[in-house]
Amino acid sequence: DVTVALNDAGYFVLAWEDERQGFRNIYYQLYDSNGNPIGTNGQANDAYAVGLDPAIAIDDAGNFVIAWKDHRNSGDRDIFFQMFNSGGNKIGVNVKANDDSGSAHQEAPSIAMNGSSNFVIAWQDRRGGGDTDIYLQSFNSNGNPIGSNRRVDDDAGNASQYISAIAMDGSGNFVVVWDDDRSGQHIYFQMFDNNGNAVGSNVKVSDDVGNTQHSWPSVSMKQNGDFIFTWMSYMDPNYPDVEAQRYFANGNPNSGNYLVVANGPNEIEALPQVAVNPIQIAFAWNDSRRTVGRSDIFGKLVTWDWDGVTDVEIVDNNFPDEFSLSQNYPNPFNPSTKIKFTIPQDESRETKNVSLKVFDVLGNEVATLVNEEKQVGEYEVCLLYT
């Protein structure tokens, strides 16, 4: 596994599992804004401990924290972390984040940090018995715990919660999201203020009312507190798609769930990630569109007002002679319209990078409908108006 964190100054740090010593450790490398390494590869976990599943966060000054699943306690699984300064040097020693006294497993950490170096670590936890729950611990800039471990999910039944992700805004407010089995397999989240107090109760993100499964959530947050989730959605049990949902800082949804990746025949879109700045949203995911049974990494960069597409469908796979863009229908439209376009074949017979955007009457871009590689053929896009 490899993970990355980037600050506003452009400095970034990578952390990964590394077997150069014969068993798995957590290594890291810090880089400046030009991509030049600062120092050399370093080991985050103590030499005698096996480390897995790293998570990382960095502040505005370049200080960072790495958390991981740690096996040092006689086969038990705990969450440990290590703090670093902006030069990539360790601050203190490895610290255990979970405070349970038993041998219950803690796994799959996620971490978020604000500009003042306060940070929060969340993980899945079995201290309650056979089912897993989501727990978290807040820390101040010196790495001292603020309060004790607390359970995030408010499920009163025997359902499991797992695979959490966490994001924090500029004021230290944060949100935790996870997979939840309490009513099928859906995505839930919980908001917290900058004192670590829960704001409201758990909220279900996935808005379908059927039996579709949802998993592997990712979250990112703007400095003003607006946030967005993305996840895998099994509308077709064999071919997952990538969906997303935006929220305002007060926790109100911004429109509804939408598809990030257009549907395609026998395509698998999996393990999505999302990152944001005040203007744009960047999505990345595993994608099998080029070769069935194998995955590439695809990405999409859109603005915050992009509502996604409901579908991009191959209408005709004959070989058109030229590019064309048909008039949308119906026009005018409410709540949706369809747009057809064709991609011609040339001597290379390769896929084409297709970009289809919508502009208002003043020439301002309001939505990106397509921005990806497409095969030769005729396509139809359905745009929802909200």
Phi, psi of 56, deg, nearest 5 = -145, 150
* Of 226, 260, 257, residue with least CA distance to 242: 260
Please list, residue by residue across 268-278, b when 16 or more beta carbons sit within 10 angstroms of its beta carbon and e when fewer do. bbbbbbbbbee
- Measured CA to CA in angstroms, residue 286 lies from 151, 240, 242, 290 at distances of 31, 11, 10, 11
Instruction: Give the pLDDT score at 311.
Output: 47
* Of 261, 251, 255, residue with least CA distance to 296: 261
* Of 302, 377, 384, 386, residue with least CA distance to 338: 384
Instruction: Give the pLDDT score at 265.
Output: 57
- Enumerate the β-bridge partners of residue 284: 273, 299
Q: Is the dihedral of CA 86, 142, 150, 201 positive or negative?
A: negative
Instruction: Give the pLDDT score at 386.
Output: 46
DSSP symbol at 329: B
* Of 27, 31, 35, 38, residue with least CA distance to 13: 31
Q: In what order do the strands lie in the sheet with 377-384?
A: 309-316, 377-384, 336-343, 324-325
In this prediction the pTM is: 0.77
Residue type, 12: F
* Of 195, 199, 208, residue with least CA distance to 227: 199
Contact present, 178 and 165 (Cβ < 8 Å): yes
Instruction: Give the pLDDT score at 261.
Output: 83
Would you call 218 exposed, middle or buried from its count of C-beta atoms within 10 A (0-12, 13-18, 19+)?
Answer: buried
Measure the CA–CA gap between 50 and 344, rounded to whole angstroms: 54
Paired tokens of 314 = 């191959």
Measure the CA–CA gap between 133 and 17, rounded to whole angstroms: 25
Instruction: Give the pLDDT score at 263.
Output: 63
Place of tokens 């971490």: 111
Cα-based torsion angle of the residue sequence 141, 147, 148, 151 in order, rounded to the nearest 10 degrees: -100
Would you call 386 exposed, middle or buried from its count of C-beta atoms within 10 A (0-12, 13-18, 19+)?
Answer: exposed
Measure the CA–CA gap between 358 and 221, rounded to whole angstroms: 25
Neighbours of 87 (CB within 10 A): 10
Instruction: Give the pLDDT score at 224.
Output: 93
- Measured CA to CA in angstroms, residue 379 lies from 49, 354, 356, 371 at distances of 54, 11, 12, 13
- Measured CA to CA in angstroms, residue 54 lies from 67, 80, 83, 110, 180 at distances of 6, 10, 13, 8, 22
DSSP symbol at 326: P
User: Consecutive 10-residue runs of the chain (386 residues): their mean pLDDT?
Assistant: 86 91 89 92 84 91 94 83 95 93 86 91 87 94 94 89 93 94 90 93 86 90 95 84 95 92 73 91 86 78 82 50 65 63 65 74 67 72 60
